[in-house]
Structure 1
Amino acid sequence: MMMETNMLKAKKCKLLTICILLFAVKGVLAEYHMQNFCNDELSFIWETIYQAKLDLSDDNIYDTKSDIYPYDRLGFCEMSLEAWITRYPKFMFYFDYLNLDCDDGHLEFYIGESNTGYANITRVSGLQGNICGTDKPVGVFAVDMQHFRIKYVPKRRQSLTNLFSIIITSYGDGSCPSYGHVCKNSRCIDGDIACNGYDSCGDDSGCDLGTAAIVGIVIGGVAGLAMIISLAVCCFCCMKRSGIKAGTIQNLPTSGANPNVYNQVQVVNQGSPYTYPDVNSTNVVQQSNIRPIYGFNP
């Protein structure tokens, strides 16, 4: 019973550790793959996100079929993105990397939706031409609408990985809520992504914090680290006290036992709890003389 209680405590300790680690990595940027959204939409509303990292790998996208005419080869991958409706109804993005040979295909960036009866063919400002090569476009590109589209046009059937990656952020120009962050360029973004290691503001001002805020972040980080270390030490001590070591053999007291029977042993987590007499003894003890453990009778 004592061993079961200790094992239960150890499980609870592990579960608590996992919960704290998940809380610590809450701010990790959501990552999406464009090839999973061909002829589809990535909605920041439905995904409940304010920033995303989008990349692309080409696994025979040239053979993609049309939704309307499934027997016709579409030959490209086009996805649309939807921003929030009120607080952050616009988009801005910048390239993390570009590794798309122009002989393999190119990218096109459009503003607006493609399901409005006709596709808006207006290109994103600063990206009017087809994008390819290894020199990524420099700067932050803004979309003054709730939707924009990305189109990948391959030249052939091919298998390529890591063709490009962009960091996309939804933002607003109006009044910023208390939980938001006002950038130096007057754009309003969600406060959770203001200082997360990416250029969330588009002008590198996301981490321009006052002295008090910086001190608070440092103190909070140190306190969080101390909590995790304390929890790890506590778990180690709990498991050490329990004395649970898989595969160890513990000798049991043999007072009053027949001297012709060797010490009974218990193997933890390795087989049956029954005990057996020494089969090599010249005087084999009857089974009724064997002392059961854990309430089992062999």
Structure 2
Amino acid sequence: MQIPVLMFLALLVGQSSAIINYYLESYCNGYSWPIDMSILDTVRLRLTSSLRYNNNMNCSVSLTTSSSKQLMYYFRSFDVENSDSCQYDFLEMHDGTSLRAPYANGFYGKQCGSYVDPFVYTTSNSALTLWFKSDNSNTGKGFDMIITSYHTGICDPDEYSCSNGRCVENYLTCNGYNPCGDHSDCALTVGGIAGIAVGSVC
């Protein structure tokens, strides 16, 4: 029986790799240093580290990756004061390096309200820019999103080939944050381990 090997595989599948957290509240009042996704590969971007975001915020940041790559993104949660036309508090997302770029895929115009969007979206180029603004009254919990750098085509030896044709860094697989965008990053499941266990015992 190869118990040590089985224990290692179980730990490998069960672990969640560390992911770097960024907070949009750190990029307010004119401070907008880009987040380099060509180095980080994936980040978790939250509006605030507090339970609720502040009034009178005006924050923006651009995330950029290598010119041959794109970014995929999805929201884990979204809670911004709701209003007609999102006139009070809102988030804008742009497909490029500035607020003059077209709106990002899936998020046209100002975004507000409370919802969870199950879809994973992609940029058309190598950059994504976010702008958040709040007024002086009601607030919300903010948002929590995952952004990952990827490319399509032939994957490099140190990359993982996702079922949807995307290539991501190998170390991102099985991190619990859906780096492929289609949940195909963790092929060795608990069921697979059970199969290995049966084969090892026999």
TM range (shorter): 0.7 to 0.9
Largest Rg, 1 or 2: 1
Paired with 2:149 and 2:78, the residues of 1 have a C-alpha distance of 22
What residue in structure 2 maps to residue 42 of structure 1?
35
The count of aligned residue pairs is 170
Q: Which runs of 5+ in 1 are unaligned?
A: 1-24, 63-75, 219-298
Q: Which runs of 5+ in 2 are unaligned?
A: 1-14, 198-202
What residue in structure 1 maps to residue 8 of structure 2?
none
Structure 1 residues 105 and 49: alpha-carbon distance in aligned structure 2, compared to 1, 3 A threshold: same
3-state SS in 2 of match to 1:178:
coil
1:112-123 aligned at under 5 Å gives the runs: 112-114=96-98, 119-123=99-103
Paired with 1:132 and 1:162, the residues of 2 have a C-alpha distance of 11
Paired with 1:137 and 1:121, the residues of 2 have a C-alpha distance of 23
What residue in structure 2 maps to residue 231 of structure 1?
none
TM-score, normalised on structure 1? 0.51
Paired with 1:52 and 1:158, the residues of 2 have a C-alpha distance of 30
Higher strand share: 2
3-state SS in 1 of match to 2:171:
helix
TM-score, normalised on structure 2? 0.74
What residue in structure 2 maps to residue 265 of structure 1?
none
Whether 1:59 and 2:59 are equivalent positions in the alignment is: no
3-state SS in 2 of match to 1:81:
strand
* Contact persistence 2:16–2:174 (CA under 8 A): no
1:99 Cα offset (Å): 1.1
Match of 2:79 among 83, 95, 99: 99
1:153 Cα offset (Å): 2.1
Q: Which amino acid letter does the alignment assign opposite residue 207 of structure 1?
A: C
Match of 1:109 among 93, 101, 108: 93
What residue in structure 1 maps to residue 154 of structure 2?
175
Runs of 4+ off more than 4 Å: 158-161
* Contact persistence 2:16–2:176 (CA under 8 A): no
What residue in structure 1 maps to residue 171 of structure 2?
192
3-state SS in 1 of match to 2:144:
strand
1:182 Cα offset (Å): 0.5
* Contact persistence 1:56–1:161 (CA under 8 A): no
* RMSD (CA atoms): 2.7
Whether 1:133 and 2:113 are equivalent positions in the alignment is: yes
Higher helix share: 1
What residue in structure 1 maps to residue 10 of structure 2?
none
